[in-house]
Structure 1
Amino acid sequence: MSQSLNKAQPYAIGAFRAVVGLLFACHGAASLFGVLGGAMGGGTIDAGTWPGWYAAVIQLVCGGLILLGLGTRAAAFVASGSMAYAYFKVHQPEALWPLQNGGESSAMFCWSLLLLVFTGSGAFGLDRLIAARRSGGDTSNSSTPADGSTGRSAAKDSVTA
């Protein structure tokens, strides 16, 4: 069972990346364009307003890149940092715990995006397609995935564990 789960890992990471990217981009679109409920339930953020407008641009651009799996690690790094800033500068001064200060989504996005910095795009990402074109081959059966992870097998994991 462990080997079949290991084979499914790139697909699970790819689906995780797409969902996190879509949700993150939706927050940016809502704040910038007033769609999907608008900024905090109505309206938009005025252009250039610090930090909200810049955060919304980061959410929309990085969320879109993460959704597509294009430059996933770099986009996730920038996005994770913006959510850490949001949590510690906006939410944490209000109260210690995320449930008390309204910072649950900032904390969850921060850690989810940080995970993508280390895992890469997984399956279905444009990063993999671009890497396959550059190498002139198909990375679907490669022992070293295009996202830079080691691609270690379950047998190697059990030996080193």
Structure 2
Amino acid sequence: MDRLARWSPILLSILRIVAALLFMEHGLMKLFHFPAPQAGAPDPLPTMLLVAAWLEVVGGALLAIGLGTRPVAFLLSGEMAVGYFMAHASKSFWPGINGGDAAILFCFTFLYIAAAGPGPWSVDAMLRGRRTI
């Protein structure tokens, strides 16, 4: 287990980067229909979805590079909690049925990142002089 434990800071960085890039994709699909339009999203977007899409793109980019990681991750975790209860929870109790499983995973992944920090592969770590690579 000690061998695996030494990888945990790097895996935290990888988790942050992968989750952020996947999250950005949702915003890009809403705003720019890239790589395709988001299924079920109205066009044009209402103001609330427009704000959510920009949070996903800008917040996802900041998380991907690891800049302002803790507050950005906390904000995005909250966005996903609100999104889940506004768009998914009323459809069914079960996340697999109401389509909210991704929102729940993003919410708790970002909450974990807000608590754990960005990991060594981040601008935050570089600014603090703690980058390990």
Q: State the TM-score, normalizing by the size of structure 2.
A: 0.91
Structure-2 residue corresponding to 1:29: 28
Find the aligned partners of 1:59 and 1:90 in 2 and give their Cα distance.
16
Q: Which protein has the larger Cα radius of gyration, Structure 1 or Structure 2? A: 1
Structure 1 counterpart of 2:92: 95
Structure 2 unaligned regions, length at least 5: none
Structure 1 runs, 4 residues or longer, greater than 4 Å off: none
Tell me the CA shift for residue 139 of structure 1.
4.9
- Residues of 2 paired with 1:45 and 1:3: CA distance? 51
Which amino acid in the other structure matches residue 82 of structure 1? E
Pick 1 or 2: higher relative contact order, CA cutoff 8 A, min separation 6: 2
In the aligned structure 2, how far is the partner of 1:87 from the partner of 1:41? Answer: 15
Distance 1:70 1:50 in 2: 26
In 2, are the aligned partners of 1:45 and 1:52 still within 8 Å (CA)? no
Across the two proteins, how many residue pairs are aligned to each other? 133
Match of 2:44 among 26, 46, 53: 46
Counterpart for residue 110 of structure 2: 113
How far is the alpha carbon of 1:123 from its aligned partner? 2.0
The CA distance in 2 between the partners of 1:35 and 1:70, in whole Å, is 24
Using the size of structure 1 for normalisation, the TM-score is: 0.76
What do residues 30-59 of structure 1 show as CA deviations (whole Å, max 9, x unaligned)? Answer: 1111111122278x7536x23211111111
SS in 1 for 2:47: coil
Q: Report the counterpart of residue 119 of structure 2 in structure 1.
A: 122
On the 8 A contact 1:29/1:56 being kept in 2, the answer is yes
Pairing 1:6–2:8 present: no
Paired residue for 1:17? 16
Structure 1: segments with no counterpart, 5+ residues: 133-137, 142-161
Q: In 1, distance between residues paired with 2:115 and 2:124?
A: 14
* Aligned-partner residue type, residue 10 of structure 2: Y
Alignment pair present for 1:140 and 2:132:
yes
Q: 2:121 touches 2:132 (CA, 8 Å); kept in 1?
A: no
Determine what percentage of the aligned residue pairs are the same residue.
32
Cα RMSD (Å): 1.9
Go from structure 1 to structure 2 and tell me whether the alpha carbon gap of 1:97 and 1:31 turns closer, same or farther (over 3 Å shift): same
